[in-house]
Amino acid sequence: MVKARRAIGLMGGTFNPIHYGHLVAAEAALDAFNLDQVIFIPSGQPPHKSGIFVADAEHRYLMTFLAIVSNQRFEMSRVEIDRSGPSYTSDTLSYFDQLDASAAWYFITGADAILDIVSWHNPDSIFRHAQLIAASRPGYSLNRIRALENQLGVKSGERIHPLEVPALAISSSQIRERLKGGLSIKYLVPEAVEHYIVKNAVYAALKA
């Protein structure tokens, strides 16, 4: 029997920290596109100049691990954390594509991130190596995808696939704001992630 082509989702992010919005989007992509697995890829340490507090890469790696470990179809990769220099999605997709050229690769983003993609490093290479799944996200419209496809010169629905996910108006920025203000983050992140943050004072610098 010929083995069916494997379909694998890749979910990149700063995961600062990872939250239920990320997990729900990945799970919805698994089902909608019949993926075999989703690999979460925390980004490397971005330069500090943006003024946003980014927790240490190893903390973000472990929080992501705690969030995904119990899901049979979720995996994770250190490829961006271990690579020096900026974390370019095009490099990451080319890395995975070379690892297994026979697999179908799907890069999963939220509606906000997909609209930024033209400004990313080497967008053509991103589209060469993977299909894109654009998950809906409260506050961002998927309607602009058609315009984006025109701008990129790709046929409608050929490379970018919109995906409606159960709306979760959760963001890592909102979680960091809550931690800064001493507010609860219960039910926004998995319990193990919440406990990890408290135990290791991951975001203590925000209060300083």
Q: Which residues bind ligand ATP (CB under 6 A)?
A: 13-16, 21-22, 25, 109-110, 112-113, 135, 137, 165, 168, 170-173
Residue closer to ligand ATP by CB (options 90, 109) is 109
Residue closer to ligand ATP by CB (options 46, 97) is 46
Continuous segment of H or E residues that includes residue 123: helix 123-129
Within 13 Å and on the Cβ side, how many CA atoms surround 106? Answer: 29
Q: How far is the CB of 93 from ligand ATP (least distance, A)?
A: 14
- Give me the sheet containing 104-110, strands edge to edge: 74-76, 37-42, 7-13, 104-110, 131-135, 160-163
Beta bridge partners of residue 8, listed in sequence order: 37, 105
Q: How far is the CB of 21 from ligand ATP (least distance, A)?
A: 2
Q: How far is the CB of 35 from ligand ATP (least distance, A)?
A: 16
Query: What are the phi and psi torsion angles at 112 (to 5°)?
Result: -70, -45
* CA pair distance 114, 142, nearest whole angstrom: 9
Q: What is the DSSP string of 47-86?
A: -GGG------HHHHHHHHHHHHTT-TTEEE--HHHHS-S-
Beta bridge partners of residue 132, listed in sequence order: 107, 160
Query: 50 vs 46, 47, 53, CA distance in Å?
Result: 9, 7, 9
Residue closer to ligand ATP by CB (options 3, 188) is 188
Which residue, judged by CB position, is nearest to ligand ATP in the bound state? 110
Q: How far is the CB of 98 from ligand ATP (least distance, A)?
A: 23
Q: How far is the CB of 99 from ligand ATP (least distance, A)?
A: 22
Q: How far is the CB of 102 from ligand ATP (least distance, A)?
A: 26
Beta bridge partners of residue 106, listed in sequence order: 9, 131
